[in-house]
Amino acid sequence: MAAHFYLHVATLFNTKPAKRKVVRKLLAICLLLSILVCSCNHAGNKLAPSTPYFDSVIARSERMYDAGDKLGALHYARTKHNEGNGLTVEDEMNYYAYISALVSRDFNDHEKSAELADTMLTILDKAGTDTKVTIRKIQALNIKADALYSKGLYNEAFKTYFNAKVLASTTEDPCAVSMFSYHMGMILYRQQKFTEASVYFKQSYSEMLSCVENFTYFYRKQELLDNIGLCYQKVGKFDSALIYYNKSLAYVRANYNKFPNKAQSVYETAEAVIYGNVADVFIGKGQLDTAIQMLNKSITVNLQMGYANTDAETDQVKLAEIYLKGDKLDELNRLLIYIRAELDTIPNKVVEIQCNNLMYRFCNRKNDSLLACRYAVAYIKLNDSFQAGNKLLMASDIEATVRAMEKQHQLSLLEKDKEKRDIYLVIAAVVALMAVIVILMVMRNSSRAERDLKMLKDLNLEIGDRKRQLEDVLYELEVRDKDKSRILRSVAHDVMSPISAISALTDILLTEGKDLNAEQWEMLDLIQEACGNSLSLSNEILDAADTIDPGTMVKERVDINKLVHSSVELLNAKAATKKQVITIEQETPGIFAMVNKGKIRRVLENLMGNAIKFSYENSSIQLSLTQAEGKVLITVKDSGIGIANKGSEHIFDMFTESKTYGTKGEKPHGIGLSIALQVARAHGGDIWFESEEGKGTTFYLSLPLNF
């Protein structure tokens, strides 16, 4: 019978177009009825509540976390989950949501957080169509979006946030919708669009007013009030900021100990964070004594174990700024020592950047120019790295992206709406042929919808064309880059062949020539030296032409000590021509790392070759090898001519103009250090230097021991 039915349907679709359209609408009506039947069948598929046993597991894990034992909390929750039998879907959701928050917030493992969110979605896809399932899906989407955002995948994060919002709108639950407004506010705040961010924070707070008063919503409400105050403070509206800070404080105090399973430290932390923000208002108003009191109050609370330690570091930086402006250099020095000690155990990149800036300005006040320069270099390097990480976010037009997604969503809704209207039109024609006026109105609305739909589709096509144009330009740039590399390699190879031949012939003349006069010997030496320089430059051009790709680089487990020793033995012969000696002053045995042996050897030879080139005769070059914090540090120190401050900032640039001839007139090429830096970073390491003109230079090569 089923086969006969589908054969009949196939026959209908082979009829005339007008008839096929009617048939499609009738089948759509049947499909709609089938969906309604299925919905009725699933209506009783309620999500089972969480079990008291696993609720107690999560509660105990949270108490361990609040007490400062973060690893213990994570291990305990995982162990009990793996042992658990008969866990409900709600138990699984509570577990994965809790673990994802831990690994993302406290261990910066955003990849794992995204995986856990995907696991939640997979479980929920099999859990039916209960309203609670939808709310849990919204939670999982927000968790995944947070992880994508933290990984810097902003477009994917925006789309996932928007999908959560669309799903939330189907539940008519303002609490679920409020999460989208909150995340929009946070993104705009990070983009320094404070006025726009405040609008979303207020909207999120308004949407959350009707939520059930649990701890999560309580904490989010006080955070939203605090965030609104921050936005006003950033744009200089200090009185408005103070109003919202006071509202947030009042809300926290009104709910003290309202949630018995939460430690008192949670409320104290929230208060202390607000105190630190209030201090900014008084700083802006010039009331520095009051600001210092508020900052000390916040720092005293949040420096305790299990509290918001990173927030305390931020407040210490604010306090240090006040000391610097007030010329309280002794207090500033003591505070900076504390901050630098705390950063060893509580890393905070933003605070580290600010601390280096403060140290630079403090050293300037103390007239210690050398130390000030070191801190200035560290500050610029860290700040540039941080700003580069934020560059993509700052360039993203989140509101335009959301508007585009809204339009796309509206387009989808219009398409579905049009299909529904067509179906209703057929039903109306079958049920009431006499309702001509109603049919005409529906057709009129349908025509208008088609015009709107066409306009939106045209706009979408235009956007698609622009995207394809950009892709074509990008492809052309990639092709040109590859052509450039091929040309460089071809030129280098073509140049090397005749130069190698000239060098070989010159060697023969130098070896076998007996009747040559002094001038001829000198000319042959010059030819030999020129050949050597040209071959060296050709090799460096070949290196520059090769793309250093970490993903395709072949690595092996290498004994770093042996690699350094073999490089030293190879370069000692070159050093001997200038009566120099290369020595290894300090080394740590048994250091192994996964590296590309040839490329790291090239880096070492470049660093030692530069040391030989720019050192005087009868001098020594010292190497050292140390291991700490999962990294190996190789230093190459000379006592040569040093690097001039004027050109030091461009020393790692490809084909840099900051070129200096060696102590015996050796000609520089200017690309070796650029290639060395690329190789080091492709391994996850780095190269930097310290130098004093006329006294020598020390280069540092850091590589991770990732094997």
- Tell which wins on pLDDT, 300 or 670: 300
Percentage of the chain beyond pLDDT 70 is 79
Whether residue 29 is predicted with pLDDT greater than 60 in this model: the reply is no
- Tell which wins on pLDDT, 341 or 479: 341
Burial of 251 (0-12, 13-18, 19+ CB in 10 A): middle
DSSP-assigned letters across all residues of 231-248:
HHHHTT-HHHHHHHHHHH
Structure tokens at 111: 């990849």
CATH number at residue 642: 3.30.565.10
In a domain, 239, yes or no: no
Closest CA to 349 of 394, 304, 392, 381: 381
Same domain, yes or no, for 50 and 36? no
DSSP tag of 592: E
Same domain, yes or no, for 38 and 121? no
587-611 pLDDT tens trace = 888 899 999 998 899 899 889 989 9
Cα 688 from chain centroid?
23
Same domain, yes or no, for 572 and 689? yes
- Taking only Cα atoms into account, the Rg of the chain, rounded to an integer number of angstroms, comes to 34
Write a three-state SS string for 609-650. Answer: HHHHHCCCCCCEEEEEEEEECCEEEEEEECCCCCCCHHHHCC
User: In the structure, what pLDDT confidence band is assigned to residue 345 with cuts at 50, 70 and 90?
Assistant: confident
124-136 pLDDT tens trace = 988 877 788 888 8
In a domain, 74, yes or no: yes
Same domain, yes or no, for 84 and 32? no
Whether residue 697 is predicted with pLDDT greater than 80 in this model: the reply is yes
Same domain, yes or no, for 571 and 653? yes
Same domain, yes or no, for 58 and 34? no
> Rounded to whole angstroms, how far apart are CA atoms 121 and 139?
10
> Rounded to whole angstroms, how far apart are CA atoms 323 and 197?
31
In a domain, 520, yes or no: no
Same domain, yes or no, for 145 and 21? no
Do 183 and 161 contact (CB within 8 A), yes or no? yes
Structure tokens at 619: 């001098």
Same domain, yes or no, for 31 and 103? no
Report CA torsion sign: 692, 693, 698, 699.
Answer: positive
pLDDT of residue 524: 74
Last residue of a domain, one of 149, 182, 217: 149
Least confident range from 64-73, 173-182, 223-232, 628-637: namely 173-182
Question: Per DSSP, what are the bridge partners of residue 584?
Answer: 623
84-138 pLDDT tens trace = 778 899 999 999 998 998 888 778 888 999 999 999 999 998 887 778 888 888 8
In a domain, 656, yes or no: yes
Structure tokens at 144: 């995944």
Whether residue 30 is predicted with pLDDT greater than 50 in this model: the reply is no
pLDDT of residue 178: 82
Same domain, yes or no, for 561 and 580? yes
Same domain, yes or no, for 95 and 130? yes
User: In the structure, what pLDDT confidence band is assigned to residue 296 with cuts at 50, 70 and 90?
Assistant: very high
In a domain, 563, yes or no: yes
In a domain, 192, yes or no: no
Q: Residue 498 — left, alpha, or beta (φ > 0 → left; ψ -120 to 50 → alpha)? A: alpha
In a domain, 125, yes or no: yes
User: In the structure, what pLDDT confidence band is assigned to residue 568 with cuts at 50, 70 and 90?
Assistant: very high
Do 69 and 263 contact (CB within 8 A), yes or no? no
What domain count does the chain have? 3
> Rounded to whole angstroms, how far apart are CA atoms 262 and 235?
35
Do 358 and 322 contact (CB within 8 A), yes or no? no
pLDDT of residue 636: 96
pLDDT of residue 116: 93
DSSP tag of 262: S
> Rounded to whole angstroms, how far apart are CA atoms 352 and 336?
11
Last residue of a domain, one of 111, 127, 149: 149
Same domain, yes or no, for 24 and 123? no
Do 676 and 607 contact (CB within 8 A), yes or no? yes
Max CA pair span of the chain? 121
Look up tokens 């879907």; give the residue. 89
Burial of 288 (0-12, 13-18, 19+ CB in 10 A): middle
Burial of 536 (0-12, 13-18, 19+ CB in 10 A): middle
Structure tokens at 519: 């001038």
Last residue of a domain, one of 114, 149, 184: 149
User: Distance between terminal CA atoms of the chain?
Assistant: 64
Contacts of residue 396, Cβ cutoff 8 Å, sequence gap at least 6:
154, 155, 158, 191
DSSP-assigned letters across all residues of 271-337:
HHHHHHHHHHHHHHHT-HHHHHHHHHHHHHHHTSTTS-HHHHHHHHHHHHHHHHHTT-HHHHHHHHH
CATH number at residue 145: 1.25.40
DSSP H or E stretch at residue 421: helix 398-431
Same domain, yes or no, for 93 and 139? yes
Q: Residue 628 is part of which domain span?
A: 556-704
Per-residue CA distances from 593 to 556, 629, 683, 685 (Å): 8, 13, 10, 12
In a domain, 592, yes or no: yes
